[in-house]
Structure 1
Amino acid sequence: MSMRAVVQQTPGGVETLELALLEKPQPQPGQLRVRVLAAGVNRADLVQREGHYPPPAGVSPILGLEVAGVVDMVNGPSRFQEGDAVFGLLSGGGYAEYALLDSALAIPKPDWLSWVEAASLPEAWMTAWLNLVELAQVREGERVLIHAGASGVGAAAIQLAGLLGAEVVASAGSSEKRSYCRSLGADEVIDSRQPGFAANLKAGGGVDVILDPVGASLFADNIASLRQDGRLLLIGVMGGAKTELNLAHLLVKRLRLQGSTLRSQPLVVRAELARALETQVLPALHAGRATITLDSCYPLAAVAEAHQYLAENRNTGKVVLGLLPVIAA
């Protein structure tokens, strides 16, 4: 049996993406096959499309790191069965009508979440949880700077930092996006493209933790902004990968610099993050203590337009692909 999927013959721009018919994937032990009804679009997909972020060995080359849908086949012991509504994080393969999801990463989809909303959650919230809770160990009363606060990860991180009791500073590149960050609970918003943002943050006492997907272009200001024992979590290099570092700054302020990617984490770590999403984040969303930050939904056939929209930084929150003409809850 065949399925529709987004494929590429060669890495490159959005014009390299096309729909094709492929064989349905067969689940390995411990995996579910999911009939995909919605799939999240992430900046990592854009980097993979360009040929700079290859999938791990043995993982589907099809783009797509998060899906929501209905279990179609189960291989091995699992708490799920055929017909269950689930969502979860993938290592690849999401831009297709069927995808393989590790049972340990699958989360039951509650009725109050639509398919599109469910597909918007795993990558953003699990990335935010990994970095702010597990790695930075943000504590109540600390001051946290979230760069690219209107992005999918940024929007989740602003809210998670607030739930942890931190004071939140968010950066964004337009007045509309800065207003959006305020609506999510940011206590202060800045334009990190303007010179002097580090000096202003230092004048206000600096920050304890920085979550940064930008990289080189913000690195010096990030280091200058950190307080004693500050932590800088680097999750992307949109602003370049090469920079200079004065090691004395790390020594004098006892700073911690840590790179972090979600896809390369061991399955056991990703499974723990999935349980945090299921048991901590979903209740907060359901109770209204956090907000689902969905920007837009494109049909699968418009995947090139979805990628272009994200590449141009036009989104506030998450972009999702819908695989049905009408997405039902």
Structure 2
Amino acid sequence: MPESMKTIEMREAGAPDVLEIGSRPVPIPAAHEVLVKVTAAGINGPDLVQRRGHYPPPKGASDLLGLEVSGEIAALGADVTAWSVDDKVCGLTNGGGYAEYVTIDAGHCLPIPEGVSDIDAAGLCETFFTVWSNCFLGRESTKGQIFLVHGGAGGIGSTATQLGAALGMRVFTTCANADDAAFCIANGAERAIDYTKEDFVEVVRAAGGANLILDIIGGPYIARNIKAAKADGHIVQLAFNAGSKVEIDLMPVMLKRLTYTGSTLRSRPDAFKAAVAADLKEKVWPLFADGTLKTKTHAVLPFEQAAEAHKMMEAATHRGKILLTP
């Protein structure tokens, strides 16, 4: 085991160019953790927000970016019995994924699904934990219901589209152009709405209204989502890329009996994340083996190009996940 490892450091909060290669000691796993030698790390929206200085890590977590990785277990904490050294895993971290080694709660690791490459597996955990826990965990049958997914070509959007379609939902996505629309349809969407040419509210209401809406946009979409929702619908807010402060009429929420929720995954208790991992292993991971679900990787870049990868993410022209390899 080496004593030091390569990392991606933030010189300061700011634009992507603040990211640079650094070095730190290899971390030591706590009793409930495993040490993973990283094959690849996924880039996610919270990484960008933290880099800008607006999303500090939880108490006790690494200050390094990186919320998901794939790799091999290099060492076990004293209390870990479910895993062995050299097991290949993908895992959800509280930070620290942009490094050659990272410690992860053993309960937040999953085996790499059958049919998924070791590198592509790095892009699974953050989006699947997030979408499953917010939209499907403990939810009754959704077959035939309309699921509106905003940003259908991105990491969260492509995961939500695939999961919705796999569960028998009628998935409608929003996207920016014909190429993104084709990508969404290939993922299982019934309808890809080009928001530059169409009004998603009109399209979805004409189909009967959305039972479930997943939004990362916010801003003007908040009021429009309420209009697009069907009675007893559920709106899930996961980000506010267009802003979180709006003035809206909430009367339709009451009249339609809507549920409006939102969450951040990183701050949830470890036991909750472990429960999500167990549910994914049982109900979702087998769908990769039979080909129902597929990984969607847009680009794989080396650690040295982390700034370029963040710029790519911010340009919002990617389709699927952007990954980094040490």
Q: TM range, normalised to the smaller chain?
A: over 0.9
1:136 touches 1:209 (CA, 8 Å); kept in 2?
A: no
Q: How does 1:127-142 map to 2 (within 5 A)?
A: 127-134=130-137, 137=140, 139-142=142-145
1:136 touches 1:231 (CA, 8 Å); kept in 2?
A: no
Partner of 2:128: 125
Farther-moved stretch of structure 1 (106-115 vs 33-42):
106-115
Question: What SS class does the counterpart of residue 285 from structure 2 fall into?
Answer: helix
Cα distance in structure 1, aligned partners of 2:201 and 2:278: 36
Gaps of 5+ in 1: 324-329
- Correspondent of 1:61 among 39, 60, 63: 63
Q: How does 1:19-34 map to 2 (within 5 A)?
A: 19-34=21-36
Tell me the CA shift for residue 138 of structure 1. Answer: 5.9
2:114 touches 2:288 (CA, 8 Å); kept in 1?
A: no
Cα distance in structure 1, aligned partners of 2:243 and 2:139: 23
Question: What SS class does the counterpart of residue 309 from structure 1 fall into?
Answer: helix
Tell me the CA shift for residue 197 of structure 1. Answer: 2.4
TM-score (norm 2): 0.95
Gaps of 5+ in 2: none
- Please, what is the CA RMSD of the aligned residues? 1.5
2:209 touches 2:228 (CA, 8 Å); kept in 1?
A: yes
1:44-94 CA distances to partner (integer Å, 9 max, x unpaired)?
111110011111111001000001111111112221122221111001000
Tell me the CA shift for residue 236 of structure 1. Answer: 0.4
- Correspondent of 2:248 among 245, 248, 264: 245
Question: What SS class does the counterpart of residue 35 from structure 1 fall into?
Answer: strand
Amino acid at match of 2:25: E
Amino acid at match of 1:27: P
Cα distance in structure 2, aligned partners of 1:90 and 1:319: 17
1:228 matched to 2:231? The reply is yes
Tell me the CA shift for residue 135 of structure 1. Answer: 7.0
Tell me the CA shift for residue 109 of structure 1. Answer: 2.6
Cα distance in structure 2, aligned partners of 1:280 and 1:196: 35
Cα distance in structure 1, aligned partners of 2:227 and 2:265: 27
CA spacing shift, 1:198–1:146, aligned 2, 3 Å: same
Cα distance in structure 2, aligned partners of 1:85 and 1:171: 35
Amino acid at match of 1:46: L
Farther-moved stretch of structure 1 (35-44 vs 136-145):
136-145
1:185 matched to 2:188? The reply is yes
Partner of 2:221: 218
Partner of 1:319: 322
Cα distance in structure 1, aligned partners of 2:153 and 2:13: 28
Tell me the CA shift for residue 279 of structure 1. Answer: 2.4
TM-score (norm 1): 0.94
Cα distance in structure 2, aligned partners of 1:76 and 1:193: 55
Amino acid at match of 2:201: A
1:16 matched to 2:18? The reply is yes
Cα distance in structure 1, aligned partners of 2:199 and 2:113: 45
1:29 touches 1:75 (CA, 8 Å); kept in 2?
A: yes
Partner of 1:42: 44
1:294 matched to 2:276? The reply is no
Partner of 1:96: 99
Cα distance in structure 2, aligned partners of 1:168 and 1:188: 7
Q: Percent identity?
A: 35
